[in-house]
Structure 1
Amino acid sequence: MSEPTVAPKPVKPSILVMLDPDPQPSLFDAVVGIDAGVDHLLRYGGVTVSQVRDLVHGAIFTRGPADLKRTAIFVGGSDVDAAERLMEAVHAAFFSDFRVSTMLDPNGANTTAAAAIRAGLKSLGRDHAQAGPQPLEGIRTAVLGGTGPVGRRVARLAARLGAQVALGSRDLLRARQAIHGIAQAAGLPTDRFTPFDRVEVLSEFAPALVVACGAAGVTLLSTAERDALASSLHVIIDLNAVPPAGVEGVAVTAKDQPLTPSDPNSPRVWGALGVGGLKMKLHRRVVQMLFETSQSTFDAETILDVARTMD
């Protein structure tokens, strides 16, 4: 007599809990979650720090530890500082084996910054994880519009990878304050950074890589200013998708192509849509990775780690 067949244990559906400090949770992030294959999205807007613990406990007490890898938490929203406070509260609510994987990506700042750095590494020929922990060693990197959410993260990630970073703002005091905050939060020496508010200072810095992270519709580097950097410049990345370009002459669709096709020494350039395709691929991949374990935390640095493994 044959042994009775034991039915396999059904796999729990994946649940992504989305916490957003904005009144209306991000539809963009929800669509990306669906495209990443999440079975169920539970979206909460207007979330405050005082509400986080009960929401987290509601997510983790309904499944045993073995099934918690099928639940994950995503913190987004337009207010980066508020989102970071929510994420701190999420992690504070975990204990013992009652925890789930988390992803922090308010305003798309972490995935966009990681995609920008990945694009720069590719154009510099240092794009894979095998390049080592300091692939930007010796690569002077200028971040235009460096005091915004994406700019601060680009500067932080570049410095972590060994770059000397010039961080720009129209207000020099703001640039210095941003550098202090980045260095303190990331445990980096302040002498890794140079504040600047004028292109003349940037010319003296002689960057090999320039990443423009300014507000939509603002030109941060004119053609003449860009050409003044020609002797040192190898890669330009412009994250501004709204005309006019953040760096004059960089097409929004550019993707690792020469600025001047007829000039073999022309810098390689990326436009916002060129980087955006990589950002979307990265965002979906990280969401999928949330459900591989209940122990992962994806912030700017760990998202960059994923980006560096992608083709």
Structure 2
Amino acid sequence: MTKKLLFQFDTDATPSVFDVVVAYDGGADHVTGYGNVTPDNVGAYVDGTIYTRGGPEKKSTAIFVGGGDMAAGEAVFDAVKKRFFGPFRVSVMLDSNGSNTTAAAGVALAVKAAGGDIKGKKAVVLAGTGPVGMRSAAMLAKEGATVAITGRDLAKTQKAADAIEKRFGVKIEAVAAADEASRKAAISGANLVFSAGAIGFELISEENWSSEASVEIVVDYNAQPPLGIGGIEAFDKAKERHGKLAIGALGLGGLKLKLHRTLIGKLFDSAEQSFDADEIYALAKEMA
């Protein structure tokens, strides 16, 4: 029986242990990780995957692009796909820093909690300039919501908003919100509030989000206390709090892990799969 081989191209110096474990749990028979992968050096690695097997055996080789930097991962992902031609290709997935699977799980569960439709609703992603926040903003906007991301510095936040528009073709508002008062102002009138900030920093207090009448759903990606959204619990999964529905990091984490494992398995269904944000989010919605 042909072994299912997954080659992990990581933009960090050391390939992610988390991604290796999930790869095995997802069905890979053997995982080989390479660190410090760049668009300039990935070509030789790709050649090793596409020229060694043919016919039905080719689908048993796949590539996973990871690392802590989504921009670097996107560059490697694009370089990998450019190396393919004709039948010389294998399936490939991008999930730098777990950003695609995490954001997809969070947004899919929020849309489900909202009854399956968020068109016309206002969504705010607090501290949305990082990979998970940017991916979440894009997915929310593609669902028809009006989306804003906040950040400490307006220029940096606007740069992130512009990058989302360039990559996904959706318009995102950039809002400078360096303190609690400005973040409270940012969620005024919002229906969905996401927190995508750094570990150990509360972005919005329980009092400030619970008193905002428009807020229907709050989602926090931080599992370590203090959480980004005060007054919720990491295990919340559409739990009612103050008349609103709360989703915590561990509440969405089950779907995130199941999604990641399922995608690994799907890489070996054929040699022509390509999983980035859009494909990953579509599957998350089916699984939510």
Distance in 2, Cα, partners of 1:296 & 1:207: 37
The separation in 1 between residues aligned to 2:96 and 2:40, in whole angstroms, is: 19
Mapped pair 1:21 → 2:11 = yes
Deviation sequence 1:239-280 (CA, Å, 0-9, x none) = 1112111011011111111114xxxxx111111111111110
Note the C-alpha offset of 1:196: 4.3
Give per-residue Cα distances to partners, 1:144-198, cap 9 Å, x unaligned.
111011000000111111110021112222222211111111122x3x5353422
Q: Percent identity?
A: 40
Q: State the AA in 1 paired with 2:173.
A: F
SS in 2 for 1:251: coil
Matched, 1:302 2:279: yes
Aligned residues between the structures: 284
1:219 matched to 2:202? The reply is yes
Q: Which runs of 5+ in 2 are unaligned?
A: none
Pick from 166, 186, 194 the counterpart of residue 202 of structure 1: 186
In structure 2, distance between residues paired with 1:287 and 1:121 = 24
Given that 1:65 and 1:97 are in contact with CA atoms closer than 8 Å, whether structure 2 keeps it comes out as no
Aligned-partner residue type, residue 310 of structure 1: M
Query: Residue type of the partner of 1:176?
Result: Q
1:71 maps onto 2:70 in alignment = no
Q: Let me know the Cα RMSD of the aligned residues.
A: 1.4
C-alpha contact 2:184 2:204 (8 A) present in aligned 1: no
Listed as ranges, the gaps of 5+ residues in structure 1 are 1-10, 127-134, 261-265
Distance 2:21 2:59 in 1: 21
CA contact (8 A) 1:166 1:196 kept: no
Bigger radius of gyration: 1
Amino acid at match of 1:187: G
Using the size of structure 1 for normalisation, the TM-score is 0.88
Cα distance in structure 2, aligned partners of 1:247 and 1:50: 41
Point out 4+ residue stretches in structure 1 off by more than 4 angstroms: none
Distance across 2 between alignment mates of 1:186 and 1:296 = 20
Are 2:270 and 1:293 aligned?
Answer: yes
**Structure 1 residues 211-247: Cα deviation after superposition (integer angstroms, max 9, x where no partner):** 1000001111012321342x11111111111211101
Q: Equivalent residues in 2 for 1:100-179 (5 A)?
A: 100-126=90-116, 135-179=117-161
Is the 8 Å Cα contact of residues 201 and 228 (structure 2) preserved in structure 1? yes
Q: Distance in 1 between matches of 2:174 and 2:129?
A: 13
1:267 aligns with 2:257: no
Shift of the 307–203 alpha-carbon distance from structure 1 to 2, 3 Å rule, reads: closer
Q: Distance in 1 between matches of 2:142 and 2:84?
A: 28
Residue in 2 that maps onto 1:87? 77
